[in-house]
Amino acid sequence: MNAPDLLTGRLPERLRRLAGALDELHAPAERAFIAYGTVLSRAVTVLRTVEEDLEGLRDQLSATQSVEATRQITDAVQQIVVLAARGGDGSVRIESLAEQTRMVAIQVEILRKIVGEVGLLSMNGKVQAAYLAESGQDFSVFTVEIAKLGELALASIDQTASRLVQLRQTIDETRNETIELERRNARELDSIQARLQDGLGNMARHRDDAGRTVADVTLRSAEVARRIAAAIGEMQINDIASQRIAHVSSALTTLAGMLPPAEGDAAPDLSMSDPAEDESRMVALAGTVLRLQAAQLQRTRDEFCGRVDSLAALMRGLADDARQVSSLAVETFAGGQTSGNASFVGDLGRDMAAAKALLTQTDEARRTLKRLVEGMAAEFSSMAADLQAIQSIDADMRVMGLNATLKCGRLGPRGLALGVVAHELRGCSRRTEEQARRLAGPLAEAMKTAEALAQSSDTDVESLSRAAMEAMEASLTALTGLGDAVDGSFSRLRSEIDMVAGELADIGQSMEVGHLVGKTLERVSAEVEALADEVDPGRSDPSHVRDEMERLLRAHYTMDSERMVHDLFADEIGTEPVEKTGSPADAAADLDDCFL
């Protein structure tokens, strides 16, 4: 088909189809840039307020709440230091008590042997009393009572010995438990003291870091502002490209309306065209207009894709800025788990809670030991009572032995044997009395040590532990208030920054609208250029149809600047450029203005 035939064929339909393809670009591009604008707007809001948020966090670390928490922690540390220094007293005293109990056991065993002799003397006395009974002398009361008293004394001393065995076992267990408790407590109290000291240092360090972070973010804010301004500028490419594409679509539709109809179609209203224009000039006009639109589409495509790539890079840059700010915030305020939104205050609070839990366990163990020590003191009191009973029994035996000795002396030779038994009984009683006095001293010392140990565990250490517990509870209260305030601000700040960083990064990596628009403009531009070559294979001189282009297209433009396209097009691609009154830069600006 030759060019004139093409003008009267399906060219108008093809032009309208291409115009429709251009019109369909508007909706997806508009939706995409609205989404980009929403994310950018949110990023602007977050990044422009992050400095204020960080300043707020910095100020919270210097506020009254933080000062009070620091004071309470310092007090708790001092109490723990004192408590740790007193931690070894219990084992030392129990060790002393164990040694005293060992000495008591030695004296009790000696006393037991002495009292054990009473039984033998009682048996001898019964034998001698039986001989005297044959001559009418009755010593049965003496022998029976001596036997009973001996049994009572031996039972008392056996009971004391049994108490000692159990008591020494309890002391050994208590000593081992106390040593282990004090060793563990000393180790853990030292650890907790170090952790709390580190916590105080961390709080001061975080306070200093907060000031440096705010200063760093302030310096970064200029670069962030530059990226934001540049991104906002690049966002305008959608409106610019949309207007240019709309103008090209309008031009194609206008050209389609000017061409002769195909056979059977209704003739268009060509009142704006010159009825005398021959087909040759129509070919030149159509080819020139199509080449102009193809050039505009290619130029729009190049600029749109370039600006979209620039916008993507800016979005990625802002995402990096946001991530860097988030990293700074994490380094400055985060706790041990940087993946969460809890601040370092929580770490200090957990250390304080661990110290409190340890003291609670220590108090429970100490109360258990206290009950054991009180039981020891009670056992020593019982042994003292046993000793008094033995001394009372011994006094009775001494009286009975004296009476028997006097009575046997009156019997002369007949009472000599029983008198010897009575005399030995008095000697045994005297040794029992002496040994009882020897036993009373160590027993009194052991009892005194046990009572002192019970009193000291009830007053000194427990009062220190109670003071440390109260200081830590006050610290926990202060830290809880500070932690709630800092955690809330830090969590909100980091969540917002991370959300914005993620959105910016996603957009920066997947700006599909650039590919969609660029591919469509590339295809339509190529088709329009091909149509121009089909219609005007000889590539007519644009300057020959300048007046016709001006006359035919003027009524279809809405702005005066759009009418300049004809002069500019002829100057740029024509063989005989028209003299221009401005600089090339002015002409380029005019071309942009033409399509804006």
Question: Please, are residues 22 and 185 in contact by the beta-carbon 8 Å criterion?
Answer: no
**Cα–Cα distance for residue pair 236/242, rounded to 1 Å:** 10
Tokens (6 digits) for 572: 């740029």
Reported confidence tier of residue 476, pLDDT bands at 50, 70, 90: confident
Which tokens is 511 given? 């700006």
8 Å CB contact between 295 and 524: no
Q: Which two tokens stand for residue 213?
A: 């972070």
Q: What amino acid is encoded at 257 in this protein?
A: G
Ranges of H-type helices in 343-415: 344-410
Give dist(CA 298, CA 596) in Å, integer: 16
Confidence of residue 17 (pLDDT cuts 50, 70, 90): very high
Q: Tokens 């670069």 — which residue?
A: 223
Residues 6+ apart with CB under 8 A from 196: 73, 76, 77, 80, 348, 351, 352, 355
Least confident of 458-472, 552-566, 581-595: 581-595
Indicate if the pLDDT at residue 459 is higher than 70: no
> If you average pLDDT over each of 82-86, 290-294, 452-456, 496-500, which comes out highest?
290-294
Question: Per-residue pLDDT for 592 more than 60?
Answer: no
> 371: which residues sit within 8 A by CB, 6+ positions away?
none
CB–CB of 516/90 below 8 Å?
no
Pairwise CA distance, residues 454 & 101, whole Å: 16
Q: What is the pLDDT of residue 457?
A: 55
Is 90 exceeded by the pLDDT of residue 526? yes
Question: Taking residues 94-107, what's their average pLDDT?
Answer: 84
Average pLDDT over the chain, rounded to whole? 75
Q: What is the dihedral of CA 270, 272, 276, 279, to 10 degrees?
A: -60
Between CA 64 and CA 66, with CA 65 as vertex, the angle to 5 degrees is 90
Residues 6+ positions from 133 with CB-CB distance below 8 Å? 139, 140
State residue 529's pLDDT score: 92
The C-alpha atoms of residue 73 and residue 180 are separated, in whole angstroms, by 28
Which pair of structure tokens corresponds to residue 137? 């002398």
pLDDT(184) > 60: yes
Per DSSP, 564 falls in state: G
Q: Identify which of 242, 262, 241 has the alpha carbon closest to the alpha carbon of residue 14.
A: 262
CB 150 within 8 A of CB 119: yes
Residue 255 contacts residue 10 (beta carbons within 8 Å): no
13-27, 257-271, 531-545, 570-584: range with highest mean pLDDT: 13-27
Q: pLDDT tens digits, residue range 20-48? A: 998 888 888 888 888 888 888 888 888 77
Q: Please give the pLDDT value at position 524.
A: 92
Q: Which of 107-116, 225-234, 275-284, 564-573 is predicted with the least confidence, judged by mean pLDDT?
A: 564-573
Using only C-alpha atoms, the chain has a radius of gyration, in whole angstroms, of: 56
N-term to C-term CA, the chain: 38
Q: What is the pLDDT of residue 229?
A: 84
Task: Kindly state the average pLDDT of the residues 165-184.
Answer: 79
Inter-residue contact 426 to 94 (CB < 8 Å): no
pLDDT tier for residue 530 given thresholds of 50, 70 and 90: very high
State the pLDDT at residue 341: 57
Largest CA distance in the chain: 186
Tokens of 289: 């207009």
Q: What is the DSSP letter of 261?
A: P
User: At 173, is the secondary structure helix, strand, or coil?
Assistant: helix
In the prediction, which pLDDT does 594 show? Answer: 30
Residue 330 CB coordination number (10 Å): 19
Confidence category of residue 577, pLDDT binned at 50, 70, 90: very low
> Helix, strand, or coil here: 574?
coil
Highest mean pLDDT among 7-11, 122-126, 359-363, 583-587: 122-126
Separation CA 354–CA 194 (nearest Å): 13
- Confidence bin at 567 (pLDDT 50/70/90): low
pLDDT level of residue 90 (50, 70, 90 thresholds): low
pLDDT tier at 272, thresholds 50, 70, 90: very low
Q: What angle do CA 275, 279, 285 make, to 5 degrees?
A: 90
What SS3 state is found at 334?
strand
User: What average pLDDT score do residues 297-304 get?
Assistant: 90
What is the structure's pLDDT at 554? Answer: 62
Full DSSP string of 102-140: HHHHHHHHHHHHHHHHHHHHHHHHHHHHHHHHTTT---H
Given this model, what pLDDT does residue 460 score?
Answer: 63
Across 290-299, average pLDDT: 89
For 48, other C-beta atoms within 10 Å of its C-beta total 13
For residue range 185-230, list pLDDT tens digits in order. 777 777 777 777 777 777 778 778 777 877 787 777 777 778 888 8
**CA dihedral of residues 15, 588, 519, 294 (deg, nearest 10):** 30
Contact status, residue 411 vs residue 137, Cβ threshold 8 Å:
yes
> Encoding tokens for residue 68?
């009070």
Q: Which two tokens stand for residue 342?
A: 């809890």
Please give the residue that has the higher pLDDT: either 543 or 556.
Answer: 543
Q: Which range in 14-23, 105-114, 139-148, 184-193 is most confidently predicted, on average pLDDT? A: 14-23
User: Above pLDDT 70, what percent of the chain?
Assistant: 81
- pLDDT given for residue 335 in this prediction: 59
Residue 119 CA: distances (Å) to CA of 146, 149, 435, 484: 8, 9, 18, 80
Tokens of 347: 């770490």
Question: What is the domain partition of the chain in residue ranges?
Answer: 68-204+345-481, 541-596
Which pLDDT value is given to residue 276?
43
**Choice among 101-105, 224-228, 357-361, 486-490 with the minimum mean pLDDT:** 486-490
Q: Is the pLDDT of residue 253 over 80?
A: yes
pLDDT for the residue 527 = 93
CB-based contacts of 282, cutoff 8 Å, min separation 6: 7, 259
pLDDT digits (tens, 9 = 90+) for 337-370: 544 556 677 777 777 777 778 777 777 777 777 7
pLDDT band for 289, please (50, 70, 90 cuts). confident
